[in-house]
Amino acid sequence: MSLPPLIDPHRHAVFVDFDGTLVELVDDPQAVAIAPAALERLEALQAALGGALAVVSGRRIADLDRFLAPMRFAAAGVHGLERRVRPDGATERLAGPEVLDDVREKLGGPLRDNPRLKLEDKGTALVLHYRTAPDLKAVAERAMAEATAGRHDLNVMNGDNIVEVHPTGMDKGKALAAMMRDAPFAGRVPVYVGDDTTDEFALKHVRDAGGVSVKVGDKRSVAEFRLAGVAAVHRWLAASA
């Protein structure tokens, strides 16, 4: 797979994943950080694109706001269950936290029995983290499977050292397609850059639509182009800006 072409600010709409793409993966999900210079370049690119830049993430939009402050940006959070088309607009939520109350309670036992497993509660999604305890991968997957048994309204997904659950019906591809229907994205050619299995929905959508699909890292992908890691992403964004 080859390097992606530079972004054309007059033609492209840019969708960028967060963890593993804009910021390096670390043990503590709250400890991620972007370099101030990289953030300034992202803002410059957003301006050059006429605002047609969005962050598409499994994170909550409120968390993305905190990590990327003071930048304001369009975003799809929690894999599209949260959406903000305009940087200063309101965040729309397609589900509430109560839908996971029963799962939250059922995960309590396994979490008490395995204190090295960490729960991230995103309201409309629950994540079991095992990056610092890789031997507990199967335990985490089993706990999630048992806690969600019979719940056909929920989707369990494996990510990078995580197993996550959220309501069905949305993924990053659908989130991107929805954003492409509105200004300032509509009429532009989509560019998507992401590293994880959950990004494959968006990468496939973009490839099928004739856009620029960019995989970060060396995992299998439907993407047409590849960048080696977070540093390479920032070099490419800088060259484009």
Site string for ligand L263DTV3, 63-102 (x = CB under 6 A): ----------------------------------------
Task: Based on the residue annotation, tell me whether 218 is a catalytic residue of this protein.
Answer: no
Backbone angles phi, psi at 68, to 5 degrees: -105, 10
Candidate residues 15, 34, 46, 57; the one interacting with ligand L263DTV3 per rule CB under 6 A = 57
Candidate residues 126, 162, 175, 193; the one interacting with ligand L263DTV3 per rule CB under 6 A = 162
Residue 10 Cβ, how far from ligand L263DTV3 at the closest point, in Å? Answer: 27
Q: Which is nearer to ligand L263DTV3, 9 or 230 (CB)?
A: 230
Backbone angles phi, psi at 205, to 5 degrees: -60, -45
Candidate residues 12, 41, 45, 58; the one interacting with ligand L263DTV3 per rule CB under 6 A = 58
Q: What is the DSSP letter of 33?
A: -
The reply to whether 59 sits near ligand L263DTV3 by the rule CB under 6 A is: yes
The reply to whether 145 sits near ligand L263DTV3 by the rule CB under 6 A is: no
The catalytically annotated residue of 17, 63, 65, 199 is 17
Q: Say if residues 202 and 176 touch (Cβ distance below 8 Å).
A: yes
* Cα dihedral sign, 48-51-52-58: positive
Q: Say if residues 82 and 122 touch (Cβ distance below 8 Å).
A: no
The reply to whether 173 sits near ligand L263DTV3 by the rule CB under 6 A is: no
Cis peptide before 70 (omega within 30 of 0): yes
Q: Which is nearer to ligand L263DTV3, 27 or 102 (CB)?
A: 27
User: Looking at beta carbons, which pairs linking 141-150 to residues 24 or more positions away fall under 8 Å?
Assistant: 143/107, 143/110, 143/111, 143/114, 143/117, 144/107, 146/106, 146/110, 147/103, 147/106, 147/107, 147/110, 148/103
Catalytic site positions: 17
Instruction: Please give the residue ranges that form the binding site for ligand L263DTV3 (CB under 6 A).
Output: 17-20, 25-27, 29, 32, 57-59, 120, 122, 127, 129, 131, 159-162, 164, 196, 198
